[in-house]
């Protein structure tokens, strides 16, 4: 419905504004409070966005696990950017956080093979330089990205 | 989508042939193009056509990166 689409657009922009303002992915309750709505109405919007693959939900929940590239909780991919600390689900997302913020940043993780610490500095223009080499392994074909998104 | 120190390290952890390694430069360009507008007003998901065009522009393997 057109009304749902308009409301979902407001919810999406509220999530984005909340990430910028709070430095964290918001809950349904926080979004409802921000826009003067109620949790069931915002929860229904979240459910529509989950169905449309706008974000990754927590398991068995409508709450956001990752509003990619921003993960709601600590992971193996830490990013420092725009004066804050952030978390990402994977290397692709980690490199995308500075881009989404329009800022430079530093990605910290470890080699998934040997455990060696990998640090990648990302310029504001997106140029990335690592401390000794880094490559990104894409583990599934693109057409299967959402088949099991928590694995991807 | 994990980061490795090198292609050799990625190869040691590869499970089956359904994976592909891209360079850091390719990954950074992909991430920037994918997310640069994510927090902007009016953001929307890429269409399948837009995404496939981006993958092609980055020089990715057409079969591995196809979306349909």
The neighbour count for residue A29, using CB atoms within 10 Å, is 13
Helix (H) or strand (E) holding A57: strand A56-57
Q: Tens digits of per-residue pLDDT, A89-134?
A: 999 999 999 999 999 999 999 999 999 999 999 999 999 999 999 9
ipTM of the complex: 0.92
Binding-face residues of A in 52-81 toward B, CB within 8 A: 52-54, 68-69, 77
Q: What's the pLDDT at A141?
A: 86
A36-58 average pLDDT score: 96
SS3 content of chain A, % helix, strand, coil (to 5): 35, 25, 40
Average pLDDT, chain A: 94
Predicted TM-score of the model (pTM): 0.92
Q: What's the pLDDT at A22?
A: 94
The single residue listed with the structure tokens 């920037």 is: B32
Q: What's the pLDDT at B1?
A: 87
For A86, the 3-state DSSP assignment is strand
Instruction: Out of B3, B28, B67, name the one closest to residue A112 (CB).
Output: B3
Instruction: Out of B19, B25, B41, name the one closest to residue A138 (CB).
Output: B19
Q: What's the pLDDT at A1?
A: 57
């Amino acid at each position: 419905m057109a009304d749902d689409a308009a409301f979902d657009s407001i919810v999406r922009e509220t999530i984005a504004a909340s990430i910028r303002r709070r430095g964290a992915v918001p809950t349904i309750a926080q979004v409802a409070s921000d826009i003067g709505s109620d949790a069931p109405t915002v929860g229904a919007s979240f459910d529509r966005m989950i169905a449309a693959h706008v974000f990754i939900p927590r398991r068995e929940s409508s709450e956001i696990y990752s509003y990619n590239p921003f993960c709601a909780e600590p992971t193996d991919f830490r990013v420092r950017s725009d004066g804050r600390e952030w978390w990402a689900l994977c290397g692709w997302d980690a490199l995308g956080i500075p881009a989404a913020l329009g800022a430079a940043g530093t990605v910290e993780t470890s080699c998934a093979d040997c455990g060696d610490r990998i640090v990648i500095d990302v310029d504001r223009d997106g140029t990335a330089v690592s401390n000794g080499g880094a490559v990104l392994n894409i583990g599934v074909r693109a057409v299967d990205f959402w088949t099991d998104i928590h694995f991807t | 989508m994990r980061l490795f120190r090198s292609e050799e390290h990625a190869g040691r952890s590869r499970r089956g042939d359904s994976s592909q390694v891209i360079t850091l430069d390719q990954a950074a360009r992909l991430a920037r193009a994918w997310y640069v507008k994510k927090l902007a007003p009016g953001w929307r998901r890429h269409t399948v056509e837009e995404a496939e065009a981006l993958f092609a522009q980055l020089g990715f393997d057409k079969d591995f990166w196809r979306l349909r």
